[in-house]
Amino acid sequence: MSSITAAMVKELRDRTGLAMMECKKALTEAAGDIELAIDNLRKSGQAKAAKKAGNIAADGAIVIEQVDNKAIVLEVNCQTDFVAKDENFANFSKKVAAAALAANEIDPAKIAELKLEDGQTVEEARIALVQKIGENIQIRRAQIIEGDNLAVYKHGLKIGVVVSYAGDAETGKGLAMHVAAFNPVAVSAEQVPADLVAKEKEIAEAKAQESGKPANIIEKMVTGSIEKFLNEVALDRQQYVIDNDKKVADVLKSTGTTVTQFIRFEVGEGIEKKAELSFAEEVAAAQAAAK
């Protein structure tokens, strides 16, 4: 039997879109013959699932599973909102989240190798679901959060939040809703990532320089812009969603509540969706191609 090299696995993966483990298994069964491996995959239906892998999966659902003081937030993508609401998709997503939380695993590649209760791996179940539903389905990302108190909030299927806090339970629930609505990037201004602040400062400086004002005025303009930015992205500086007359910091102080960390996932963040042509545009494009 021919030895299976990394280059062979990569070639099969590039040609089918399947996971590395599936490609290696197919090559082993085909004694290293790539063409035979592809034929076998087509016969088993896996190649059909692989073809779907080229489609952009920018819809989907955020799933949250919690056990005691630990929770996982998982994003599973599909192509359409219709499938995101499908019971089979929902059941698959819930099972994956439970398995990942039990294994304390957040790497999508490693989650794919986990076993589900029925003995299938997550990847095997994913492929079977793609074949059944007919859309590309991908496990995109996951994050685990722990804390003595966890507040969970879901906004439909698209946004999921978990806040780790100490103090008042009602405030914890309100903060989870607030994070869903206002999308802060950190608990406090001091915790806002330095690269985000640096980027904002660079933009502010460029705009200020265009004003032609003296250096001391430009410095004040930049400082003001950075403060405005921090007020928008730091949780404790934001206006509280439940009472706009108060800042979150005021609510935390008055209720004796502190926030350790939070997770906020929104479906499709950072995924570039393919622009869909209208019917008129499709007709125009077809007529242009026929000329």
Q: Which CATH architecture has domain 6-52?
A: Orthogonal Bundle (1.10)
What integer pLDDT is reported at residue 125 of this predicted model? 94
pLDDT at position 8 over 70: yes
Percent of the chain with pLDDT over 90: 59
| Residue 225 predicted with pLDDT over 50 | yes
pLDDT in tens, 18-28: 777 878 888 99
Over residues 75-85, mean pLDDT: 92
User: Which pLDDT tens digit goes with each residue over 41-58?
Assistant: 766 666 555 555 555 567
Domain ranges of the chain: 6-52, 59-146, 182-266
Report the candidate in 204, 262, 264, 260 with the shortest Cα–Cα distance to residue 229: 204
* Same fold for the pair 6-52 and 59-146: no
- Predicted structure pTM score: 0.73
pLDDT at 171: 97
Task: Tell me: pLDDT of 277 over 50.
Answer: no
φ, ψ (nearest 5 deg) of residue 159: -130, 135
- Of residues 225, 21, 230, the one with CA closest to residue 123: 21
Which of 77-81, 147-151, 172-176, 180-184 comes out lowest in average pLDDT? Answer: 77-81
E strands, 147-212, are 149-155, 159-166
* Chain segment 108-151, per-residue pLDDT in tens: 999 999 999 999 999 999 999 988 888 889 999 999 999 999 99
In CATH, the number for domain 59-146 is 3.30.479.20
